[in-house]
């Protein structure tokens, strides 16, 4: 294997690829060990996730906007992927440095671990304990690099002594085998550790083990939507696995149900802490509500309707007794992430709730297990705190929340909007009857009364409306269009129950939600 071209001791194998591989493997093994250790306590201190969330938090809002526009919900996998790719390049460099001098490689790997540990320690809510996964990463990562380096040089010197070094850089089968076996063992160990970390997390809390109570105040019978009738239209009720997901997390949080509590504090008569069982004892309500993300662009995917089960937010607040100074509910999730909600809007009689169920199941982990806020009519970033653990009654003067600190609006009612689900932009369609269909929403604006469709800038014509679930729910609609050959522009707008017509004035999502009318081109043949 070895060639002493540049005066290195002949016992040291010179395969650059091999050494780059050592850097990669030792870094992966260290990272997997850190992830495993983090999974035992606080997954956020896992080296990869810690670096990833630090990058997310530090990303300026316009860049985030751009990423969401271009990658949608894939922004996170892309981010983790880029962080990982960058780290792996550096890991390979560390391996190459170690080939020259082991200490150099160790120094670079040590630096990587130090950065990840620093990221974990500066996470919101971090404690000194969050350094432990970093230490595990360092011990396993650096240790593995030393071991691999040693195996390689032993094999190489064994080769030099026994079978003769005269093989001119090719090395013998047995030396390569030794290095390969060592590398294989490390790769296997890394995989097992990463898998074990995931397994441990999954064992901790299982939404499927929760038995949901029957509602004291049930929602009405859910009507049949147009789902079966209009090809390509959004389902009236969106299944949990298809429901849009937007949050700052890189992982799917696993919150322990046994130790989970919800505390109401701040400007209250008495601080109250509720367990999950305490919630089950309260009056349980069931409501059909459509959530909408402020990042949704006109015609976008970040809006869906579901049936929620839970308790009234006002019932929870009343247990603590809200003081007279508060104008904000600052809600905090299990990890210290905060969302602020105007107190007057949350308590004005709308169906604001602490939800524990979604479409007949416990909340999925991705959607806030074991409990989240749901408030009709306000964008999710000021209302829909997932994995919620604390409601602090405070004022906007005293406290600000995650997105407020990033210049998003503080008070953000959902804007009336309509999405065309079918046809798709640039579709080629046969002439004759084409069914145009979609959904529209106007939560807390009296719901959707009417959707209108416009072809080629002509008159606005009424669409046929699907069932009206309630004013906080979206409504399906469709329009039979007699399509003639040529290229056509199709647009749709909604008129809400309070008599407002969806505005044509365009606004970007930042800072308080997109507006405008979706219009798309199709070709009829
Ligand atoms: N803890 C926490 N809750 C959160 C968020 C978050 O990042 N962290 N994102 C909010 C945003 S911006 C939206 S639009 C809704 C989305 O809820 P969903 O992912 O269940 O659709 O959750 C809200 N709740
Ligand atoms: Mo959102």
Residue where a domain terminates, one of 347, 371, 406: 406
Which of 380, 402, 509 gets mutated to test ligand 1 (max ligand atoms within 8 A of its CB)? Answer: 380
Please tell me the predicted confidence (pLDDT) of residue 436: 98
The confidence score (pLDDT) of residue 363 equals 97
Q: Give the DSSP letter of residue 503.
A: P
Distance 407 CA to ligand 1 centre (A): 17
| Same domain for 63 and 44 | yes
- What percent of the chain stands above pLDDT 90? 68
Mean pLDDT on 92-108? 95
Please state the rounded mean pLDDT for residues 121-146.
89
pLDDT digit string, tens, across residues 423-458: 999 999 999 999 999 999 999 999 999 999 999 999
Same domain, 382 and 435: no
**Residue whose CA is at the smallest distance from ligand 1 atom 16:** 246
Q: Which of 368, 376, 327, 381 is nearest to 352 (CA)?
A: 376
Q: Which two tokens stand for residue 127?
A: 């404690």
Q: Is the CB of 291 under 6 A from ligand 1?
A: yes
Tell me, yes or no, whether 363 lies in a domain.
yes
Residue 14 has pLDDT above 90, yes or no: no
Provide the 3-class DSSP secondary structure of residue 112.
helix
Decide if 226 is inside a domain: no
**Mind listing the pLDDT tens digit for each residue in 458-517?**
999 999 999 999 999 999 999 999 999 999 999 999 999 999 999 999 999 999 999 999
Q: How far is the CA of 293 from the centre of ligand 1 (A)?
A: 8
CA of 169 to the centre of ligand 1 (A): 57
The answer as to whether 319 is a domain residue is yes
Q: Alpha-carbon distance 44 to 116, whole Å? A: 11
158 with 193, same domain? yes
Ligand 2 center from residue 385 Cα (angstroms): 10
CA 438 to ligand 1 center in whole angstroms = 24
What is the pLDDT averaged over residues 113-118?
93
CATH number at residue 467: 2.60.40.650
> Using CA atoms, how far apart are residues 416 and 301, in angstroms rounded to an integer?
15
| Residue 2, domain member (yes or no) | no
Nearest CA to ligand 1 atom 8: 247
Please list, residue by residue across 463-488, b when 16 or more beta carbons sit within 10 angstroms of its beta carbon and e when fewer do.
bebbeebbbbbbbbbbbebebeeeeb
Quote the CA–CA distance of 503 and 506 in Å, as a whole number. Answer: 8
Which of the listed residues 346, 373, 406 is the one where a domain comes to its end? 406
> Percent of the chain at pLDDT above 70?
91
Residue 382 CA to ligand 2 centre (angstroms): 8
Ligand 2 center from residue 294 Cα (angstroms): 5
Please tell me the number of the ligand nearest to residue 56's CA. Answer: 1
**What tokens were used for 259?**
């130790």
Q: Is 128 buried (19+), middle (13-18) or exposed (0-12) by CB count in 10 A?
A: exposed
Spatial strand order of the sheet with 475-483 comes to 417-422, 432-441, 475-483, 464-465
pTM > 0.85: yes or no: no
Nearest CA to ligand 1 atom 18: 245
Q: What is the pLDDT of residue 479?
A: 98
Instruction: Compute the distance between CA of residue 383 and CA of residue 443 in angstroms, rounded to an integer.
Output: 13
Ligand in closest contact with the CA of 295 = 2
Q: Are residues 99 and 157 in the same domain?
A: yes
Query: Do 245 and 200 belong together in one domain?
Result: no
Alpha-carbon distance of 223 to 235, in angstroms, equals 12
Pick left, alpha or beta for residue 148 (phi over 0 → left; psi -120 to 50 → alpha; otherwise beta). Answer: alpha
Closest-CA residue to 156 (of 308, 53, 9, 356): 9
Tell whether the model's pLDDT for residue 53 goes beyond 60: yes
Pocket test for ligand 1, best of 372, 385, 386, 474 (most atoms within 8 A of CB): 386
User: What is the pLDDT at residue 73?
Assistant: 61
Q: Do residues 431 and 388 share a domain?
A: no
User: What band does 64 get if pLDDT is binned at 50, 70 and 90?
Assistant: confident
Is the CB–ligand 1 distance for residue 244 below 6 Å? Answer: yes
4: confidence class by pLDDT, cuts 50, 70, 90: very low
| Domains contained in the chain, number | 3
Does residue 385 lie within any of the structural domains? yes
pLDDT confidence tier of residue 5, bands split at 50, 70 and 90: very low
Assess whether the C-beta atom of 337 lies below 6 angstroms from ligand 1.
yes
Strand stretches in 463-508, DSSP E? 464-465, 475-483, 486-496
From the CA of 304, the nearest ligand is 1
Instruction: Pick the range with the lowest mean pLDDT from 71-75, 234-238, 273-277, 367-371.
Output: 71-75
Q: Is 333 in the pocket of ligand 1 (CB under 6 A)?
A: yes
Residues 179 and 261 in one domain: no
Evaluate: CB of 385 within 6 angstroms of ligand 1.
yes
Question: pLDDT category, 175, cuts 50, 70, 90?
Answer: low
Ligand 1: atom nearest CA of 292 is: 14
Q: Is the pLDDT of residue 244 over 50?
A: yes
Q: From CA 148, how far away is CA 388, in angstroms rounded?
A: 45
User: Residue 290: enclosing H or E segment and its boundaries?
Assistant: strand 284-292
Q: Nearest CA to 5 among 14, 269, 75?
A: 14
Tell me the C-alpha distance between 367 and 363, whole Å. 6
- Pair (198, 90) in one structural domain: yes
pLDDT for residue 165: 38
423 prior amide bond cis, ω within 30: yes
Q: Which pLDDT score is estimated for 253?
A: 87
Residues 394 and 355 in one domain: yes
Q: Dump pLDDT digits (tens) for 392-415.
A: 999 999 999 999 898 999 989 999
The rounded distance, in Å, linking the Cα atoms of 11 and 154 is: 8
The answer to whether residue 212 is domain-embedded is no
**CB of 369 closer than 6 A to ligand 1?**
no
- On whether both 274 and 158 belong to a single domain, the answer is no
Domain that holds residue 436: 417-524
Query: Which one, of 469, 214, 470, lies nearest residue 360 by Cα?
Result: 214
Give yes or no: residues 424 and 395 share one domain.
no
Please state whether 72 falls in left (phi above 0), alpha (psi between -120 and 50) or beta. left
Residue of the CA atom closest to atom 7 of ligand 1: 247
Per-residue three-class SS string for 131-176: HHHHHHHHHHHHHHHHHHHHHHHHHHHHHHHHCCCCCCCCCCHHHH
Pocket flag, ligand 1, residue 367 (CB < 6 Å): yes
**How far apart are the CA of 403 and the centre of ligand 2, in A?**
10
408 lines ligand 1 (CB under 6 A): no
Residue 210 lies in a domain: no
CB of 293 shorter than 6 A to ligand 1: yes
**Domain containing residue 381: CATH number:** 3.90.420.10
Please, which pLDDT band fits residue 9 given cuts at 50, 70 and 90?
A: very low
Which ligand has the minimum distance to the alpha carbon of residue 510?
Answer: 2
Same-domain check for residues 258 and 328:
yes
401 lines ligand 1 (CB under 6 A): no
Domain edge (last residue) among 406, 438, 454:
406
In whole angstroms, give the CA distance from residue 388 to residue 372: 5
What pLDDT was estimated at residue 76? 72
For all residues of the chain together, what is the average pLDDT? 89
Task: Kindly state whether residue 211 falls inside one of the protein's structural domains.
Answer: no
Protein residues placing their CB within 5 Å of the ion ligand 2: 246, 293-294, 380-381
CA distance 215 to 309: 7
């Amino acid at each position: 294997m070895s060639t002493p071209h540049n005066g290195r001791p002949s016992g040291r194998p010179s395969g650059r690829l091999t050494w780059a591989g050592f850097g990669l493997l030792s870094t992966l093994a260290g990272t997997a060990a850190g992830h495993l250790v983090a999974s035992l306590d606080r997954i956020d201190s896992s080296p990869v996730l810690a670096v990833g969330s630090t990058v997310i938090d530090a990303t300026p809002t316009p860049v985030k906007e751009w990423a969401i526009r271009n990658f949608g919900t894939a922004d996170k996998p892309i981010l983790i992927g880029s962080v990982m790719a960058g780290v792996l390049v550096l890991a390979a460099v560390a391996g190459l440095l170690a080939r020259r001098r082991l200490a150099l490689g160790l120094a670079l790997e040590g630096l990587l671990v130090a950065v990840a540990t620093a990221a974990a320690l500066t996470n919101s809510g971090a404690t000194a304990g969050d350094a432990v996964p970093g230490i595990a990463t360092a011990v396993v990562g650096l240790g593995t690099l030393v071991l691999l380096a040693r195996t390689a040089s032993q094999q190489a010197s064994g080769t030099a002594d026994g079978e003769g070094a005269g093989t001119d850089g090719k090395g013998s089968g047995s030396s390569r085998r030794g290095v390969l076996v060592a590398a294989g063992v490390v790769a296997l160990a890394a995989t097992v550790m990463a898998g074990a970390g995931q397994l441990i997390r999954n064992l901790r809390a299982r939404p499927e083990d929760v038995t949901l109570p029957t509602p004291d105040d049930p929602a009405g019978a859910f009507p049949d939507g147009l789902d079966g009738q209009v090809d390509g239209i959004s389902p009236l009720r969106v299944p949990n696995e298809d429901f849009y997901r937007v949050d700052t997390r890189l992982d799917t949080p696993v919150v322990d149900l046994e130790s989970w509590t919800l505390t109401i504090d701040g400007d209250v008569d008495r601080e109250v802490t509720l367990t999950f069982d305490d919630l089950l004892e309260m009056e349980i309500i069931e409501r059909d509500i459509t959530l909408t993300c402020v990042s949704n662009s006109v015609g976008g995917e970040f809006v869906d309707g579901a049936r929620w089960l839970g308790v009234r937010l006002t019932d929870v607040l009343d247990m603590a007794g809200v003081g007279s100074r508060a104008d904000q509910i600052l809600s905090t999730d299990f990890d210290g992430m905060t969302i602020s909600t105007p107190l007057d809007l949350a308590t004005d009689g709308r169906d604001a709730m602490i939800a524990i169920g979604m479409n007949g199941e416990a909340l999925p982990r991705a959607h806030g297990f074991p409990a989240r806020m749901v408030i009709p009519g306000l964008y999710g970033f000021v209302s829909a705190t997932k994995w919620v653990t604390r409601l602090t009654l405070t004022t906007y003067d005293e406290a600000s929340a995650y997105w407020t600190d990033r210049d998003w609006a503080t008070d953000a009612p959902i804007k009336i909007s309509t999405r065309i689900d079918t046809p798709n932009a640039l579709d080629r369609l046969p002439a004759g009857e084409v069914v145009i269909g979609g959904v529209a929403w106007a939560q807390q604006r009296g719901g959707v009364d009417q959707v209108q469709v416009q072809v080629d800038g002509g008159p606005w014509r009424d669409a046929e409306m699907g069932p009206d679930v309630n004013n906080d729910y979206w409504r399906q609609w469709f329009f039979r269009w007699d399509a003639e050959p040529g290229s056509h522009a199709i647009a749709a707008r909604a008129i809400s129950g309070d008599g407002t017509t969806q505005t044509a004035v365009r606004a970007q999502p930042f800072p308080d939600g997109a507006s405008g009318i979706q219009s798309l081109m199709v070709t009829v043949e």
